[in-house]
Amino acid sequence: MTDFLAKDVDKLEKPSNYMKFELGDNKFRALDSMITGWVGWTVNAEGQRRPIRKPADGVFRTDEVEDISKIKPFYAFPVWNYKHEAVQILEVTQKGIQKSIKGLARNSEWGNPTGDEGYDITVTREGEGLDTEYSVAPSPKKKLDPIAIQTYKDTIINLDALYDGKDPFEVSTDDVPDNL
């Protein structure tokens, strides 16, 4: 039956703007610096759960989120997702992954993972639900694929829009940085 599908049929599907850790290996290259802060959840008027994010020095009101005890720190940064060959935003809320990424970035032998001379990171996800486990491994430093570089240059992302509950990819002319 698989002979029916063209080998590149999956390339016709537009990937999400957000990278999610799937079962198995999830390889990416960080493309730029991260933003950090706190994330909690609320339910909007339509009954949909939505994240509310605040900068690291931000404070939540108890009426802003469903459960103030479930507020988590987050890291968010643009990445090149190798599996989907796409620029996406990766939001990391898992403490173990955060600790590993921070450790790599602070290590003098690994340092900054971003850019053309950086390194890839693979997060391996195993298990489901409460039994989910993650491991983090860097790859040797290497040049980033020119297609990834050009795709990122052609993509305008305003990460700070996450703090306002907006889509970082929906940029108005007021949000475009002066250097573009």
Q: For residue 134, how far is the Cα from the chain centroid?
A: 15
In a domain, 5, yes or no: no
69-109: pLDDT as tens digits: 999 999 999 999 999 999 999 999 999 999 999 999 999 99
SS3 of residue 174 by DSSP: coil
Q: Which residues pair with 40 in a beta bridge?
A: 52
Q: Which residues pair with 58 in a beta bridge?
A: none
Phi then psi for residue 134, to 5 deg, are -125, 145
In a domain, 60, yes or no: yes
Distance in angstroms (rounded) separating the CA atoms of residues 97 and 126: 13
SS3 of residue 123 by DSSP: strand
pLDDT tier for residue 180 given thresholds of 50, 70 and 90: very low
In a domain, 175, yes or no: no
What type of residue sits at position 36?
A: T
In a domain, 142, yes or no: yes
In a domain, 73, yes or no: yes
What are the structure tokens assigned to 78, written together? 């643009």
Q: What is the mean pLDDT of the chain?
A: 91
In a domain, 55, yes or no: yes
Q: Are 96 and 134 in contact (CB under 8 A)?
A: yes
Q: Mean pLDDT throughout 24-51?
A: 95
Structural domain that includes position 115: 15-164
Q: Is the pLDDT assigned to residue 173 strictly greater than 70?
A: no
Q: Are 110 and 104 in contact (CB under 8 A)?
A: yes
Neighbours of 61 (CB within 10 A): 8
pLDDT tier for residue 4 given thresholds of 50, 70 and 90: confident
Which residue in 4, 75, 9, 10 sits closest to 39, CA to CA?
75
Which pLDDT does position 15 carry in this prediction?
A: 81
In a domain, 46, yes or no: yes
In a domain, 9, yes or no: no
What are the structure tokens assigned to 116, written together? 């053309």
Q: Are 40 and 68 in contact (CB under 8 A)?
A: yes
Q: Looking at the 3D structure of the chain, how many domains does it have? A: 1
Continuous segment of H or E residues that includes residue 104: helix 95-106
